[in-house]
Amino acid sequence: MACALPHHLFFFFFFFLLFLLPFSTVAQTNGTVAVGTSITANTKDTPWLSPSGVFAFGFKPLQEKNLFLLSIWYHQIPDQTVVWYGNDGIPISTGSKLDLTGDRGLVLSDPQGNELWKSQFIVDSVAYGFMNDTGNFLLVRSDSFNLWESFKYPTDTTLPTQIMESGGVIFSRLSETNFSQGRFQFRLLLDGNLVLNTRDITTNFAYDAYYISGTFDPNNSSNSGYQVIFNDAGFMYILRRNNQRFDLTPQQLLFPTTEYYHRATLNFDGVFTQYYHPKSFDSSTKWTPIWSAPDNICLNINGEEGSGACGFNSICTLNVYKRPECKCPPGYSLLDPNNTYGSCKPNFSHSCSEDDINSGEELYDLLPLKDTAWLTCKYEHLQPASEDLCRKSCLNDCFCVVALLLNDSCFKKKLPLSNGRQDRSVNGQAFLKFRKSDVPLVRPPPPPIPKPEKKGGTLIIVGSVFLGSSLFINFVFIGAVCLGFFVIYHKKSIKNSHGDHCAAETNLRCFTYKEVAEATDGFKEELGSGAFGIVYKGAIQMGSRVVVVAVKKLDRLVQEREKEFKAEVNVIGQTHHKNLVCLLGFCDEGQHRMLVYEFLSNGTLASFLFGEKKPSWNQRTQIALGIARGLVYLHEECSTQIIHCDIKPQNVLLDDYYNARISDFGLAKLLMLNQSKTNPATIRGTKGYVAAEWFNRKPITAKVDVYSYGVLLLEIITCRRSVCDLENGEEEKGILTYWASDCFQDGKLDALVENDMEALNDWKMLERFLMVGIWCIQEDPSLRPTMRKVTQMLEGVVEVGLPPSPSQFSYTN
């Protein structure tokens, strides 16, 4: 009687056979393409594959019938993402041909033999072509010198091992499916700044940048950037000429390139994003963002020229994926119905005829749009102005199509409208003009596109496999299906057996108390303590790696507030910004409430600022900008606004490259009222950083963080604590906010920075930063700028006016 094979070996056997077949197919190519080889645009010719089969070079079919794109794409990923394309992204028809020639390199011709495109700058004979596993196609000389490579001519995507030199540029696509050059650019300028900007497609004129890296140093050229590097570990950064790095990818990268594919793409809507994709995947696996810039493109584009993130007369809103969505305002429709990101036109006649001028209020009406604005194209400013005055002025002005009311200011605007946005940070109201005979209708959103029935698709795939394959392959397929069911069932069993402690609905990892205790060696090494409890250092297993972590043991919470804890952790877990400390997971077991953060090696900003050695001026300014950008994200970009309530140098950590990372954000709601550090007990914050409204019982808004940031900015400028106990007759320096304001009024900036020559040599920036700090610490919250405006003023994008002297309000009141 035959011996029965154990069931686990049976599954392993068929699993091995299943993967043996595609492996043998991949082994048939080594990535080399001989001179004289050609490929034709059709559905039969096989593309040129890289050695492992990850990338393919050839003609990728498009949605339009009989059209193809000369491109490089991820061959092994289901959606076959395109990462490079030739012929300026213009589709080609069936029968077009690509030849690899010895004297001209790659030559693309149409079915009639007319040349459409060729690789540039081939001055020697090509020995062979090579499609490598990094996604770079090379034309190689006989001595192995690279004559041409696709990495030197990027389109909308950059890949690991790819480098952009000073002066380099990539363009977005025109749309999701149109690969022609679009309206957005990603450029490394000759001065060292990395920027994102819109452009005029016809003239290629570049409009104002909506993202600036700040890696240009006018006083020290060696500190300016000259390369954008995407290294083989999956990190993107700007390399300065002194070999220092300006990181773009967050340092705590949990998606190693050994297990994940990476790419960074300037999307057609102007958002530059780095993505990852598991190398082991199923049909539902998608590309997932790691980071993107800018944080809110709708608000970041503010230039006087160009239409903004969307087309003219359109309104931009940010979706949950931090990508812009464009819509026409009521009474307007798309110029091109197929381009939802394009310009809109009014559906009513607009004129300055005699009848219109004399009968404005009879013929026209205004539709209020909350939190909506078109920031440019204003031609008249009324101040002070009530809502009634603003409305009437626009109705009786034949040029006015929109009136924008912000506080007591009325701005009248005319066509075309640009930089339209709808966001709660606008904090104003637009009044859209329309003819009463053409009442604008607010159209409902289109119904969701029904998803294809999965069962039918599965049956078709299975049927195709069985009908088109040999008996041996069918046998292997059945074994693989059985194995799949076994693995899925096994995983579910494991998940169910460990699911009791993971009640919070979040994508963070849920640790048991035992795991955290073991990771911290019984909470042995204490890193520090604060209003929420004690922080311990530990090391914990995360996938295949051991990650160093900081565990915050929350021992000062109201234990009955279980739902609040889970809600707040869920909000914190959804944040993602390079200037925020990353929350990796949490423990919510019994009476134990703990948060597990990434560990940052360079400690707190307090230790950095107030140590024996004064940090460089450049480091301090970059840290100040990083904190400001992180607060903009918390205040404006999160799905739920987060007010920190305790901004201070102890709550800012520094990573390996001294990038500022805000910590303890989102925890203010969890703190027991009688554990706050100030009086009265309802006040949250720390002495020296608390805004006046806490004491005056005024509404608490994000402006309390602006005040605290202003104090922190003055500390960064001076390297002095906000409150000092002085015994040497310098009592006037005891309260930093008062002393800094006096020094500014008296023009004694040298005394403020104690003859810091690096700061004094950068006088304009020093003065600008100091004025911004004083604006932030105004007692009246309405006088303080938003954090977005603070960032723009620090960057020099928005002019900083002369600030008034802040009120002599004391934290002791």
Q: Which residues are catalytic?
A: 646
Strand order in the sheet with 32-34: 32-34, 128-131, 137-140, 146-149
Angle between helices 617-632 and 703-718 in degrees, nearest 10: 170
* 3-state secondary structure string across 174-237: CCCCCCCEEEEEEEECCCCCEEEEEECCCCCCEEEEEEECCCCCCCCHHHCEEEEEECCCCCEE
Helix, strand, coil percentages for the chain (3-state, nearest 5): 25, 25, 45
In order of 85, 116, 153, 174, 207, the CA distances from 181 in angstroms are 11, 17, 13, 6, 16
Q: How many helices (H) and strands (E) does the chain have?
A: 18, 44
648 labeled binding residue: no
> Which sign does the torsion angle of CA 244, 245, 251, 255 carry?
negative
List phi, psi (to 5°) of 372: -125, 140
- Distance between CA atoms of 522 and 532, rounded to whole angstroms? 19
What are the beta bridge partners of residue 38?
99
- Distance between CA atoms of 156 and 269, rounded to whole angstroms? 12
DSSP sequence for 477-491: HHHHHHHHHHHHHHH
Q: Please list, in sequence order, all residues whose beta carbon lies within 8 angstroms of the beta carbon of residue 458, skipping any fewer than 6 positions away.
A: none
Work out the angle at residue 419's Cα, subtended by the Cα atoms of residues 414 and 423, and round it to the nearest 5 degrees: 115
What are the beta bridge partners of residue 467?
none
What are the beta bridge partners of residue 527?
none
The kind and range of the H/E element at 245 are strand 245-247
Q: Is 403 helix (H, G, I), strand (E, B) or coil?
A: strand
- Distance between CA atoms of 220 and 215, rounded to whole angstroms? 11
In order of 183, 417, 768, 789, the CA distances from 798 in angstroms are 24, 21, 11, 8
How far is residue 268 CA from its own chain's centroid? Answer: 15
Binding positions: 553
Binding positions for ATP: 553
